């Protein structure tokens, strides 16, 4: 069985519709797919219908934005009840902060000599419910301010760069609580991507585990093969399960496509072991 438990659609910052995501995943050999749009569940109905049509299993998911000290951390939710009111309310509260944040990003870029960034980003938004840095990055690339998405983030949208603004998302304990109230599992997304020391990363993982967190992503395009081994060992050491996901955002825009994920390293407990 091929599991891919992290990807995005046009309901957040992906390029394909929820049905398009599911069809592509099925065509490329994924058997069990979680759609995990940022702070959003709105694509799950369409994805579920498409999964039934394609004969694959859809896991109801989301990727929640968390502020942990001065850093942003992403927590993937898997197997949640999309009708759970606490989770839906929590996600709405996270999304609601995005519009004002995007205006601040636009103002910061205007100060840096790019006057049209907010309006430009809006033309890339595919859900009126959600604007993200990805939409700014697409505009910066297509208007010739950056070579590619990576370049746009590196020069404009990451901490210390002109279009980066700090923002307070939900707390780790809130997010783990909402996910569990909705009957799901909480997974630390791409732990290798956070710009923290290895001691801080262990503190984060320990706090997450103590809050009842369930798993960490071990196999992710944000990780090197050496990190697959490293995070497999951390999962075992912290008695957390292990997950894997392509974090697919769209053809030509993602490091890994559906079907490209290598298997989890041996000796970990897969997040799906009790499904």
Residues that bind ligand AMP in the complex, under the rule CB under 6 A: 13, 38, 65, 132-134, 149-150, 153, 249
Binding mask 12-31 for Mn ion (x = CB under 5 A): -x------------------
Of the pair 129, 249, the CB lying nearest ligand AMP is at: 249
Please, are residues 38 and 65 in contact by the beta-carbon 8 Å criterion? yes
> Which of ligand AMP, Mn ion, none lies near 145, with the C-beta cut-off 5 to 8 A by kind?
none
Reported as type and span, the H/E element at residue 62 is strand 57-68
- CB 221 to Mn ion: min, Å: 10
By CB under 5 A, which span of 171-179, 184-192, 229-237, 255-263 interacts with Mn ion?
Answer: 184-192
Q: Judged by CB under 5 A, which of 11, 247, 250, 270 binds Mn ion?
A: 247
Binding mask 70-109 for Mn ion (x = CB under 5 A): ----x-----------------------------------
- CB 147 to ligand AMP: min, Å: 12
Binding mask 36-65 for Mn ion (x = CB under 5 A): ---------------------------x--
Edge-to-edge strand ranges of the sheet holding 215-219:
3-4, 32-35, 57-68, 71-78, 185-188, 215-219, 241-244
- CB 108 to ligand AMP: min, Å: 14
Taken as a whole, the chain contains a residue count of: 275
- CB 271 to Mn ion: min, Å: 16
Cα of 203 vs its chain's centroid, Å: 21
What is the phi-psi region of residue 2: left when phi exceeds 0, alpha when psi lies from -120 to 50, beta otherwise? beta
- CB 7 to Mn ion: min, Å: 7
d(CA 221, CA 45): 27
Say whether residue 133 binds Mn ion (CB under 5 A): no
CA-wise closest residue to 66 among 215, 231, 182, 204: 204
Of the pair 74, 135, the CB lying nearest Mn ion is at: 74
Q: Are strands 32-35 and 57-68 parallel, antiparallel or unpaired?
A: parallel
d(CA 105, CA 139): 13
- CB 76 to Mn ion: min, Å: 8
Of the pair 3, 194, the CB lying nearest ligand AMP is at: 194
Start-to-end CA span in the chain (Å): 13
Cβ-Cβ contacts under 8 Å for 86 (sequence gap 6 or more): 177, 178, 181, 182
- CB 121 to ligand AMP: min, Å: 10
In this structure, the number of other CB atoms found within 10 A of the CB of residue 4 comes to 29
The binding site for Mn ion (CB under 5 A) comprises 13, 63, 74, 189, 247
């Amino acid at each position: 069985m091929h599991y891919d438990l992290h990807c995005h659609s046009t309901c957040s910052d992906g390029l394909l519709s929820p049905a398009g995501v599911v069809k592509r995943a099925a065509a490329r050999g994924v058997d069990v797919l979680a759609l995990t749009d940022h702070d959003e569940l709105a694509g799950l109905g369409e994805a579920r219908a498409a999964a039934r049509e394609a004969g694959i299993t859809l896991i109801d998911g989301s990727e929640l934005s968390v502020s942990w000290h001065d850093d942003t951390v992403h927590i993937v939710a898997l197997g949640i009840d999309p009708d759970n009111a606490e989770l839906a309310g929590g996600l709405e509260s996270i999304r609601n902060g995005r519009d004002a944040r995007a205006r601040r990003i636009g103002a910061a870029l205007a100060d840096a000599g790019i006057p049209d960034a907010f309006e430009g980003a809006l033309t890339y938004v595919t859900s009126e419910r959600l604007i993200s840095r990805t939409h700014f990055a697409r505009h910066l690339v297509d208007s010739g301010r950056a070579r590619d998405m990576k370049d746009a983030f590196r020069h404009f949208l990451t901490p210390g760069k002109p279009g980066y603004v700090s923002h307070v998302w939900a707390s780790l304990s809130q997010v783990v609580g909402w996910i569990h109230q909705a009957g799901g599992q909480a997974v630390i997304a791409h732990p290798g991507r956070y710009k923290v020391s290895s001691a801080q990363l262990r503190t984060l993982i320990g706090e997450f585990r103590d809050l009842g967190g369930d798993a960490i992503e071990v196999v992710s395009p944000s990780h090197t093969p050496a990190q697959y081994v490293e995070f497999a060992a951390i999962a075992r050491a912290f008695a957390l399960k292990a997950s894997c996901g392509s974090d697919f955002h769209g053809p030509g825009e993602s490091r890994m496509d559906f079907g490209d994920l290598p298997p989890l390293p041996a000796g970990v407990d897969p997040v799906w072991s009790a499904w």
